[in-house]
Structure 1
Amino acid sequence: MKKTLMRQVNNQFPAPCLTINKKYTILEYTQEASEMFHLTPSLWEIIEEGSHTKVKEWIVPSEPKAKVEINMITASKQVVLVDLYVKWTNDLQAELMIFPKEGQNQHVSKMLDRLQTRLNETNFELLQEKEKLEDAIHENNKLSAPFIHLSEDTSLIPLFGDISEEKLLTIKDQVLSNAHSHETDCLLFDFTAVGEIHQEGIYVLKDLFTSLLYMGKQVVIVGIKPVQAQRLHHLKIRFNLSFVTSLQEAIHRFGA
């Protein structure tokens, strides 16, 4: 029986390469292949047993070109996952190029590490911008209900924009503090520039108005739209609220 001799060849690709025949005998190998595997004439010696079926199915002359993911056994007896690129030069011989997945995974891992670092930096920058935005919204909400003294007894609180829970929670303490410290008897809440009143905002309004009424203040609702008035009516506040159609009328009636 003729003994098959393997020979080392040079290859322009810096990757392990083999040339085999259709009986899966190794005919040629590159230096990279000899460094990675303990080579014998039989290809099966470096193919992990679980991948034998896949090799028999895909590394055949009827598949001129193929890419197969298999497990191979290295010179250090480690099982590694590889991409095996197969090209049959004729019906008798095929060229194999081997690309270990481990190296690719390391490359991907490094890319992911760099991406994570970028994301962490970006997240920190976004957090800073978010905090700035929240501060700006908070300040804007405070300005949405300025406390304006019209006289010793009367003050005006004009409301602007949509009435949300967040906005009212911001201005509630501010209004109560000003109402207490300035001993104002009559508070005109001007709804002329108000847009939508959110349901959660209505509950905070109820707490605000109830607190002011318990403090003995007169609460006057100015310029409210019919739909908004219906929503406030559902608050069922135990004390009476006064409603006036315009700010001019309110100033005239309440002696500001």
Structure 2
Amino acid sequence: MSDIKFLPQPYFMLNRNFEILAASDKSYEVFETAPNFLDLVDWESRRKAAHFLALKEGTKESELIMKTKESPYALFDVSINWNSGDGHILCIEKDHRLAELENIVEKHRLRLAETNLELLEKKEQVEQNLYEIKSLSCPFIKLTKTTALVPLFGDLDDGMIRQNEERILNKTQDGHYDYLLFDFNGVRNLTEAGVAAFVSIINELQLMGISPSIIGIKPNHAFYLNGHPSKLNVPFLSSLSTALKKTI
């Protein structure tokens, strides 16, 4: 029985009258010294405790409100096993276990927050890379004093046009160009939204008094451009050299 004192949780050995015969050192750390186990139980829980302890067969479990050195109302999971007339009770503070669980959940939440932050940073980096790619997909090149070229690369979608629209209009106006050539040789696919945005920028250029032209249209490009409700009133030219001859 000498090993009882080293148990890591409050432990009591009782007789049939619930008198404490022995206890672990942890019991004296948590509870005041008392001759009877019921003295450690809150007054309103004593009837429940007495009924629970009176079931002197096998192992039983219950929740009891007990009086500790730190709190007069501490919730414990209490289990008892009767053997040869002696009751062996183990008391585990429920609030303590809940606090541990809350601590685990909080640590998990913090890990998720850190992971989400890392993903957000990666997402922002990807978005920045996509932004730069779309800008490079629509460069503005001066050819002559009156003519500039905008070669398009990749998929012509709404994002490509909207991202570069203001830059194209400003450079065209600031350079006092008369002609702006859009080269479709590097365009793979078109989307309906991309065509609508492209038609919009063509209309704005024409309102500014600039003459846009389109170079290098492929059959799949023509399908989308011809299918748009607003027909493009611009020259469609086969090559850059042909376009330059018309603008010089």
Q: Which moved more, 1:233-242 or 1:124-133?
A: 124-133
Please state whether the residue corresponding to 2:6 is helix, strand or coil.
coil
Q: Is the 8 A contact 2:31 2:40 kept in 1?
A: no
- Shift in Å at residue 155 of structure 1? 2.3
Q: Is the 8 A contact 1:159 1:194 kept in 2?
A: yes
**Structure 1 letter corresponding to 2:10:** P
2:205 is aligned to: 212
Please state whether the residue corresponding to 2:176 is helix, strand or coil.
coil
Residue 101 of structure 1, aligned match among 86, 94, 98: 94
Separation (CA, whole Å) in 1 of partners of 2:39 and 2:246: 101
Change (3 A) 1:15 1:204: same
1:242 is aligned to: 235
Change (3 A) 1:51 1:177: farther
Structure 2 matches for 1:159-198, cutoff 5 A? 159-198=152-191
1:29 is aligned to: 23
**Structure 1 letter corresponding to 2:57:** P
2:41 is aligned to: 46
Separation (CA, whole Å) in 2 of partners of 1:250 and 1:79: 93
1:79 is aligned to: 73
2:13 is aligned to: 19
Please state whether the residue corresponding to 1:172 is helix, strand or coil.
helix
Gap runs ≥5 in structure 1: 1-7
Please state whether the residue corresponding to 2:181 is helix, strand or coil.
strand
Q: Is the 8 A contact 1:223 1:247 kept in 2?
A: yes
**Structure 1 letter corresponding to 2:134:** N
**What percentage of aligned pairs have identical amino acids?**
25
- Shift in Å at residue 27 of structure 1? 4.0
Per-residue displacement from partner, 1:135-192 (whole Å, max 9, x unpaired)? 4333322211111223333322111122333332221111111211223223222223
- Shift in Å at residue 121 of structure 1? 5.8
**Structure 1 letter corresponding to 2:45:** E
Separation (CA, whole Å) in 2 of partners of 1:174 and 1:91: 92
Change (3 A) 1:240 1:16: same
Q: Is the 8 A contact 1:17 1:33 kept in 2?
A: yes
1:232 correspondence with 2:225: yes
Separation (CA, whole Å) in 2 of partners of 1:240 and 1:122: 52
Gap runs ≥5 in structure 2: none
Please state whether the residue corresponding to 1:254 is helix, strand or coil.
helix
Q: Using structure 2 for the length normalisation, give the TM-score.
A: 0.72
How many residues align structurally?
Answer: 243
**Structure 2 letter corresponding to 1:46:** V
